[in-house]
Amino acid sequence: MAERRRLNLVLDMRLPSHLRAWQILQHIPVGRRSHEVCRIICTQEDEKNRADLLSEIRQIIREELAEVKTIPSTYIDKKIEEAAEPQSVSSDVLGFLHSLQEGDGIG
């Protein structure tokens, strides 16, 4: 079986999409056209697959979010208050920071 395949393409210049395709093909150097046509076809298929996957992911997220109950505002308020409360700092840390401010006396 041959390792090369041939595809003959007939374009009708009266059809806008065929005319546009012809114009694009004319800008591709001879000897690179088959490669570019294959690349364009594969890219188009990859983009379709990515779009399908993204659509499926969005649907799953919508379904999961529909099952999530609303977080009570009292819970959120409590967490904000806890974060705003001052935290105790050990005397070791304060001593270290103080020594940095005072300098080590060297120099």
pLDDT tens, 31-51? Answer: 999 999 999 999 999 888 899
- pLDDT band for 106, please (50, 70, 90 cuts): low
Query: If you average pLDDT over residues 79-100, what whole number do you get?
Result: 76
pLDDT at 104: 58
- Number of Cα atoms under 13 Å in the Cβ half of residue 61: 6
What pTM did the predictor assign?
Answer: 0.47
Q: Is 28 exposed, middle or buried (0-12, 13-18, 19+ CB in 10 A)?
A: middle
- Which comes out higher in pLDDT, residue 90 or 7? 7
Task: Find which of 10-19, 59-68, 76-85, 88-97 is predicted with most confidence, using mean pLDDT.
Answer: 10-19
- Cα separation of the two ends of the chain: 84
pLDDT at 19: 96
Instruction: Say how many C-beta atoms besides its own lie within 10 A of residue 19's C-beta.
Output: 13
pLDDT at 21: 93
Q: Would you list the domain boundaries of the chain?
A: 31-66
